[in-house]
A and B are shown apart, each in its own frame.
Chain A
Amino acid sequence: MGKRDGDVRISLQTLRALEAFLENPSEELSGADVQKRSGLASGTLYPILLRLESAGWFVSRWESIDPVSAGRPRRRLYRLTASGLARASGIFASFSRGVLA
């Protein structure tokens, strides 16, 4: 779907989306969950999710439920990849050192 070079423009909104995942890096979150944690608007959040996924920071999959039995549609779940986790951790570490890499 897109670029795999990992060059992602790190904006404040991107950091807020990443921060939502870093609370529990192994957790899979839907867009609604990320929006609830980060407070980002949907018009801002979904392009960021797609951008990070296309750059290899995230992987996504459909929730494995039966919509009929669950009574709700299946959600798209995002999860940090190992490289995405390393990059996000590096970015936040550089922030904690006062240097933006």
Chain B
Amino acid sequence: MSGRGPRSGEALARFLIRRAARTAPPGLAARLEEEWLADLTARQSALGRVRFALGCSWAMRVIAREFGAAAAAAAGSASGQRLLVDSGGYDFSRLSRRTVAMIAIVCLHAAIFYLYLTTFGPRDAASMSTPLAAGFITAPHRTLRPTRLPPPTLTRTVIDNVPEPRIPLDLPTQSSAITVVHRSQPAAPPPPYPTPKPVNVVMGGPGAGFPNTEDYYPPAARRLGESGTAAVRVCVGPSGRLTSAPAILRSSGLALIDGGALRLARAGSGHYRPTTEDGRPVSGCYPFLISFRLRDF
């Protein structure tokens, strides 16, 4: 609508303004028409002019409601002017440009649809309409006659000398089907397991002839003034000899002291007291402590 010409839309706007001014209260019609037409010239776009004219139409409804009664009374109510009563409409001048465009598009489509219906609709409808016929479809009547079958012929065959059936049964030869079991006494409880006898175990240790600790004091540790205690684990056979190499169970924290303890434990092989169970020497492993202490001379 806008931009089609320098003053496009002005005719429609003028029409709307003049139409609205005709409904103005007496004394205001000419003034408002001239005033609005003059202000219309300040509008640059066609859409703006139409919106302005629609707003003037709305303004006229408000003005007629507010000033119509007073003007009619002043004019003696004899001028024949039509006084409008506000019906609670909408201020169309508030419509945005997009809304006005949408309304115009909808109106255009409605007009095209109306033209289609009035021009082509009836003819097409007539050409497309097909008379409908409704009726019942009658199926051909058929009479079913019952078929008479001949009576069945029954023949009876008599078989003589039928052998007696013999079925071999392998049944137990027990004379009575009921077996009476005498349970006068409950079953005897199983014999108790033999309780193992307590074993008196005496751990072994360094025995007679075990080397002297002083003989195996590492000289380097002695020079350094190191002393300490290491726990050594040994496995000793019944004869008092080592069955495996001794091992440090808890270190003294000093490598020289631990080394001397291991040498002493190895040197004592054959001089260990074996572990005894009920006085009988058995193989066993046990720990014992070896201490290297410096003495003041």
Contact = CB atoms under 8 A, between A and B. Distances in A.
Contact of A43 (B31, B38, B42, B62): B62
B27 interface: yes
Contact of B63 (A3, A47, A74): A47
Contact of B38 (A3, A36, A73): A73
A41 B32 CA distance: 16
A37 interface: no
A43 B57 CA distance: 7
B52 A47 contact: no
Nearest to B71: A1
Contact of A30 (B32, B38, B43, B70): B38
B91 A43 contact: yes
Interface secondary structure of A, over-half rule = helix
B58 interface: yes
A76 B56 CA distance: 15
A43 B22 CA distance: 16
Contacts of B214: none
Interface in B32-86: 32, 34-39, 41-43, 51-52, 54-59, 62-63, 66-67, 70-71
Interface in A44-85: 44-47, 50-51, 54, 72-76
A30 B37 CA distance: 12
Interface string A1-43: 1110000000000000000000000000011100110000111
A44 B32 contact: no
A3 B34 CA distance: 23
A47 B34 contact: no
Nearest to A33: B42
B67 to A, nearest CB: 6
The 7 closest A-B pairs by CB, nearest first: A42-B55, A43-B58, A43-B55, A32-B42, A41-B93, A43-B93, A76-B35
Interface of A: 1-3, 30-32, 35-36, 41-47, 50-51, 54, 72-76
Given A31-B36, A32-B42, A72-B41, 7 more contacts: A1-B67, A32-B43, A35-B39, A36-B42, A42-B59, A43-B92, A46-B55
